[in-house]
Structure 1
Amino acid sequence: MPDLFVLRQFLPAVTGTRPRDDGWQVCELDPAADIADSVSLLVDLAAATHAPALLASVLDGGHAAVEGFSGASGYWRALLPGGSGAGPLPAAETARHLVEWAADAHRTVAAEPITELLSAPEPRRADGAFEELLSLLGLPGTADTTSGALDGRPGCVTIRAWTLG
């Protein structure tokens, strides 16, 4: 995945890449990586891979910003773990976008559990909430939590892309 033209500018910041089940690939970037426009990056990545893409970044305070793009759902953003900041849209509307994103990734999922995760008031570690979201999106086992993905350091960025092939 780092060989994709859209990711070439980030090559100096790539700290690891891993192929995952069902064609998913993970590209981890150093916290110092400067992603000036995450929406454009996701759109370009989806165009380059012909499939949905996810971007997760650990923020200060233990939250993760998770962004996604696909042809069906367009762009969406959610903050994990839940609480007051599910993102710019209400949790139920964000969940609808995530369900559409999952459908574009050839997964059938229910909106209610995603809405519950986005609305959950209890504190969770960013990596655990991200793993739960991936599972709710029908992508269990796609993350390797032993390799440092979303390791809780502010600025840690993980790009997950579905590739056909």
Structure 2
Amino acid sequence: MRDGAGGYLVVGRNDRPLPELYVLRPFLPAVAGHRALGDGWQIWELGADAAVADSVALLVDIAAATRAPALLGSFLSAGRAAVEGFSGAGGYWRALVPAGPGAAPCAAEEMAGRAGLWAAAARRAVAGRPIADCLRTPPRTRADGVVEDLLSLLGLPGPAEAVPEPAAERR
């Protein structure tokens, strides 16, 4: 995603490409790229024209369709991003990356705890302190780089060797 450009990253785990899921099909025209991670995890980039109206409902629907936790990263102005997650075990959470000026000192720790519950639901063991530090740290370069750092801290696997291509229109 270009610096300063709006848009979304949809992160989920499934054997099929995520946009093939019923809940994500309306966003198929906005797909700007994707990457496959190990263990079935995927990151799909949606352009700013995707216009996600209800991120909580979208995350709940993705988690229900994939039977796995889901994340949504959205890029805001001034080099900031919001990361939202949902899992059946950990519920919903939302964190601004980095947490803005004036944020309560405990906000990063609270969000790190909720993110840790998300990671546990994704069967990943993570430490809370590095997540809290990431949420407090101003971006070194671009907001999407901080989101990538956060995904790594949540224990998501690295890139898979082969990137799945979207399936052809089914007849």
Match among 59, 62, 67 for residue 42 of structure 1: 59
In the TM superposition, residue 17 of structure 1 has moved relative to its aligned partner by 3.0
Which amino acid in 2 is paired with 1:136? L
Q: Is the 8 A contact 1:79 1:85 kept in 2?
A: no
In the TM superposition, residue 84 of structure 1 has moved relative to its aligned partner by 2.6
Q: How does 1:128-147 map to 2 (within 5 A)?
A: 128-142=145-159
In the TM superposition, residue 40 of structure 1 has moved relative to its aligned partner by 0.2
Aligned partners of 2:98 and 2:152: how far apart in 1? 14
Q: How does 1:1-165 map to 2 (within 5 A)?
A: 1-84=18-101, 90-120=107-137, 122-124=138-140, 125-142=142-159
CA radius of gyration, larger in? 2
Residues 38 and 8 of structure 1: CA distance in aligned 2, closer, same or farther (over 3 Å): same
SS in 2 for 1:94: helix
Taking only the aligned residue pairs, the percentage that are identical comes to 62
Structure with higher RCO (Cα < 8 A, 6+ apart)? 1
Aligned partners of 1:46 and 1:114: how far apart in 2? 22
Q: Which runs of 5+ in 1 are unaligned?
A: 144-165
Q: TM-score, normalised by structure 1?
A: 0.78
Aligned length: 141
Q: TM-score, normalised by structure 2?
A: 0.75
In the TM superposition, residue 16 of structure 1 has moved relative to its aligned partner by 2.3
Residues 8 and 23 of structure 1: CA distance in aligned 2, closer, same or farther (over 3 Å): same
Aligned partners of 1:15 and 1:85: how far apart in 2? 34
Aligned partners of 1:109 and 1:57: how far apart in 2? 23
Q: Which runs of 5+ in 2 are unaligned?
A: 1-17, 161-171
CA RMSD of aligned residues (A): 2.1
After superposing the two structures, state which structure 1 stretch, 64-73 or 75-84, moved more: 75-84
